């Protein structure tokens, strides 16, 4: 990364911080005193899920399970059932497994160290850094898709960020962060907020952008992106993901094993239905067989 790029990255933090402190959404995980456990739960729920869908589910989750030990004491099926329609229910199993480790090995306290967080089941680099920064105020770069889009445009002059590259993305975000820990944590949140609300993938609101006068992409005349593109998620309708979700809905709704006949009614394509069921069994989201029926995991 050359000096000019470092300078452009550092130059966006001050106006972004001022904008964020005026305009930031009032979200539960941003409030003073919000627990580290809540931050971990929120970060996992927010993966590929809209904020509006997460907030009520998060509040219900933390009311039922206010600490990791509370969740660990419940069977995994309860976690999957409470996940409801947030999508990607493997996240519920991962969160249950992480809660068990936190309760047993960390004294029921979410660890602060990034390496300790990475050692938890189902916790990746983004989530580990996000918890360390947003729960504990430590100074680390935190990079998600919104951050990569803002940095690609404002700093690199590119219309799209392309595929994720940790060796490029993390140093670029690091160059954006002020030295002060509180300001650095707020800058991480500010870049995410800008990407979520203003510098969106389609039709960015450049007239409302607090760093429009420092945006390299705007200064270059908004050139079309001609490099590699980030992979797009396949359509949901008619996909195996849709069939998995329909089977999961049947399992969540029943307190007794669901018969193969009942599962056969959720989708007409037997081959796709069997494939979806097999994948749920493989992922630990369902258990059973055609003789005993199928149910959520009992742990």
Instruction: Give the side-chain half-sphere CA count within 13 A for 188.
Output: 26
Residue ranges in 46-138 assigned as alpha helix (H): 51-64, 68-72, 76-83, 90-105, 114-118, 125-134
CA dihedral 193, 210, 229, 236 (to 10 degrees): 40
Q: Has 224 been annotated as catalytic?
A: no
Q: Is 156:5 a contact under the CB 8 Å cutoff?
A: yes
3-state secondary structure 32-58: CCCCHHHHHHHHHHCCCCCHHHHHHHH
User: Which residues are bridge partners to 82 per DSSP?
Assistant: none
Asked if 127 and 43 count as a contact pair (C-beta separation under 8 A), the reply is: yes
Catalytic residue among 23, 43, 104, 160: 43
Residue 244 makes CB contacts below 8 A (sequence gap 6+) with 276, 279, 280
The DSSP symbol for 157 reads: -
CA–CA dist 24, 160 (Å, integer): 24
Reduced DSSP (H G I as helix, E B as strand, rest coil) percent helix, strand, coil of the chain, to 5: 55, 0, 40
Active site residues: 43
């Amino acid at each position: 990364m050359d000096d000019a790029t470092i300078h452009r990255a550092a130059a966006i933090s001050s106006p972004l911080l001022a904008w964020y402190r005026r305009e930031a959404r009032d979200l539960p995980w941003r409030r003073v005193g919000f627990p580290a456990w809540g931050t971990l739960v929120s970060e996992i729920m927010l993966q590929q899920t809209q904020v509006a869908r997460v907030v009520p589910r998060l509040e219900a989750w933390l009311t039922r399970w206010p600490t990791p030990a509370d969740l660990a004491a419940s069977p995994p099926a309860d976690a999957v059932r409470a996940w409801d329609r947030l999508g990607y229910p493997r996240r519920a199993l991962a969160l249950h497994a992480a809660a068990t480790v936190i309760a047993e090995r960390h004294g029921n306290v979410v660890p602060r160290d990034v390496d300790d967080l990475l050692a938890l089941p189902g916790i990746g680099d983004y989530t580990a850094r996000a918890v360390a920064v947003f729960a504990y105020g430590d100074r680390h770069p935190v990079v998600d898709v919104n951050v990569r889009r803002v940095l690609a445009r404002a700093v690199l002059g590119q219309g799209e960020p392309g595929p994720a590259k940790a060796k490029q993305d993390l140093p670029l975000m690091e160059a954006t962060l002020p030295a002060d820990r509180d300001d650095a944590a707020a800058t991480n949140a500010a870049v995410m907020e800008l990407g979520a609300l203003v510098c969106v993938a389609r039709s960015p609101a450049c007239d409302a952008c607090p760093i429009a006068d420092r945006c390299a992409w705007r200064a270059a005349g908004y050139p079309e992106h001609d490099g590699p593109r980030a992979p797009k998620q396949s359509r949901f309708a008619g996909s195996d993901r849709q069939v998995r979700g329909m089977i999961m809905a049947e399992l969540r709704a029943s307190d007794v094993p669901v018969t193969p006949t009942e599962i056969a009614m959720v989708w007409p394509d037997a081959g796709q239905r069997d494939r979806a069921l097999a994948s749920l069994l493989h992922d630990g989201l369902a258990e059973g067989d055609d003789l005993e029926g199928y149910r959520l995991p009992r742990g």
